[in-house]
């Protein structure tokens, strides 16, 4: 629960607003009351409420907590599994790992570890895939509720091309998902995502049932995967011969909308970009996963130029790091190979305000604005000897300091994380 005693965090403040706007306060303060941001401003000009507890973070940066719009909590024990592309990787590593989540005690243990790790990395909100087992969702939301984190999650729906222990069917997938949605969506800070894994593991009937659920609960999210791997796309074409494209499969099922989060989106035709834009769906860039599984290079400029909304995510366990700093660094490298740029300000905007916008939560999280939830991360740009050495040459350039932090930083640069004003 949020603390009742007012708290003030002093340090260098950095936050992003609409468009290209940002706030930088070299000696600022955030006043927190009842879990929300009450005031933001220069330290010398701010009058603190009586009894305020002050935490002085000195020269460290205080930013909104990081937001990860695509991650799999059941894959924590199989991250960094060697030598396979997508389909073989699912069969060899992912499906065996996910079958263990039928055990509620195992799911509870993994959920606790996973949330510990996210918070250690400065990530305060994520859009999370559970498994086909309702127990995995209950365990995750129960642990998130206990901590007061704002999380989005859902039961994976799969009714074919997976082990029997991981398959539901169109009817039970709908019924179980609806029950979980009604129980958890909007309960405190918990939000639900309707989660058909992807078109290969869901029959047309199941995708239609997922779409029916999305129509019945339009304020819930939809999360799935799209156009990650060329072999995957070929298999979808074989399974859905009457649809013009992979994206059209989801469009016909009613799964595209402004709360639809589509992981990867690497290999898309022009007609698919049109469908994404017309439905205001989000293409989620997962750079470490795309590189690790050999899937391809995301084309941010092409998608953004076509009017497609974009998010940036870790995709653990195909992704190789829980850190949004490491994720931004790999995104920079992918875009370099595309002949595109990712300046530091754009990268830090992407993993805070940008991802909040992708999740339609920009009025609650992602910026340092009075009335917003006080989910915050404190970052030390001199966290390691190598960073300190580089920092000596940076001078007064905030852009250069941020780029160094993004390129060289990881969990060691996270000095503190706050959820609803409470230090984790």
Numbered ranges of CATH 2.30.40.10 in the chain: 7-65+367-423
| Helix or strand run (H / E) with residue 201 | none
| CATH architecture, domain defined by 7-65+367-423 | Roll (2.30)
For 129, what's the count of Cα atoms within 13 Å in the CB-facing half-sphere? 29
Q: Which residues contact 91 (CB under 8 A, 6 or more apart)?
A: none
Average the pLDDT over 121-135 and give the result: 98
Q: DSSP class of residue 373?
A: B
User: Does residue 1 register a pLDDT over 80?
Assistant: no
Cα–Cα distance for residue pair 87/94, rounded to 1 Å: 10
Mean pLDDT of 277-298: 98
232-245 in b/e form (b: 16+ CB < 10 A) is bbebbeebbeebeb
Q: pLDDT at position 84, please?
A: 82
pLDDT at 141: 98
Check if the beta carbon of residue 341 is closer than 8 Å to that of residue 309. no
Domain boundaries for CATH 3.20.20.140 within the chain: 66-322
Mean pLDDT computed over 99-126: 98
Range 285-306 average pLDDT: 98
CA distance 194 to 196: 7
Residue 218: the pLDDT is: 98
Q: Which CATH class is domain 66-322?
A: alpha beta
Q: Residues 185-189: what's their mean pLDDT?
A: 98
Query: Residues of the chain with pLDDT > 90: what percent?
Result: 98
CA distances in angstroms from 202 to 105, 173, 180, 348, listed in the order given? 28, 10, 19, 35
Residue 221 pLDDT more than 70? Answer: yes
Q: What percent of the chain has pLDDT above 70?
A: 99
DSSP state of 200: T
- Over residues 31-57, mean pLDDT: 96
User: What token pair was written down for 192?
Assistant: 């639900």
Contact predicate 263/313, CB 8 Å: yes
Write down the pLDDT at residue 83.
Answer: 83
Q: What one-character DSSP code corresponds to residue 94?
A: I
Average per-residue pLDDT for the chain: 97
pLDDT reading at 2 higher than 70: no
């Amino acid at each position: 629960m949020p603390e009742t005693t007012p708290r003030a965090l002093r340090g260098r403040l950095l936050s992003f607003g609409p468009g290209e706007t940002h706030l930088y306060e070299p000696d600022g303060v955030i006043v927190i009351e009842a879990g929300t941001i009450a005031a933001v401003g220069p330290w010398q000009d701010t009058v603190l409420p009586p009894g305020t507890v002050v935490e002085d973070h000195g020269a460290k940066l205080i930013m909104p907590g990081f937001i990860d719009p695509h991650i799999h909590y059941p894959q924590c024990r199989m991250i960094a599994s060697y030598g396979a592309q997508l389909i073989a990787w699912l069969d060899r590593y992912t499906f065996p790992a996910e079958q263990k989540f039928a055990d509620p005690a195992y799911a509870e243990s993994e959920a606790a570890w996973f949330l510990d790790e996210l918070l250690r990395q400065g990530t305060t909100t994520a859009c999370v895939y559970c498994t086909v087992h309702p127990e995995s969702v209950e365990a995750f939301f129960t642990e998130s509720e206990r901590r007061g984190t704002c999380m989005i999650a859902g039961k994976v729906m799969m009714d074919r091309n997976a082990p029997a222990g991981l398959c539901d069917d169109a009817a039970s997938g709908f019924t179980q998902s609806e029950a979980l949605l009604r129980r958890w969506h909007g309960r405190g800070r918990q939000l639900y995502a309707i989660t058909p894994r992807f078109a290969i593991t869901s029959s047309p009937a199941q995708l239609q049932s997922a779409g029916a659920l999305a129509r019945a609960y339009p304020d819930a999210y939809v999360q799935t995967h799209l156009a990650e791997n060329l072999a995957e796309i070929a298999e979808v074409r074989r399974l859905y011969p009457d649809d013009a494209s992979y994206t059209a499969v989801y469009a016909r099922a009613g799964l595209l909308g402004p709360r639809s989060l589509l992981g990867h989106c690497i290999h898309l035709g022009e007609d698919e970009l049109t469908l994404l834009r017309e439905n205001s769906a989000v293409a989620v860039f997962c750079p470490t996963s795309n590189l690790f599984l050999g899937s391809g290079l995301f084309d941010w400029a092409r998608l953004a130029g076509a009017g497609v909304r974009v998010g940036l995510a870790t995709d653990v366990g195909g992704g190789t790091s829980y850190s949004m700093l490491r994720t931004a660094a790999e995104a920079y490298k992918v875009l370099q190979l595309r002949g595109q740029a990712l300046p530091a300000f754009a990268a830090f905007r992407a993993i805070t305000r940008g991802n909040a916008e992708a999740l339609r939560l920009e009025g609650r999280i992602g910026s340092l604005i009075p009335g917003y939830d006080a989910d915050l991360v404190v970052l030390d740009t001199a966290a390691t000897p190598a960073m300190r050495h580089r920092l000596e040459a940076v001078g007064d350039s905030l852009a250069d300091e941020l780029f160094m932090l993004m390129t060289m930083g990881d969990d060691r640069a996270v000095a503190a994380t706050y959820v609803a004003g409470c230090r984790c």
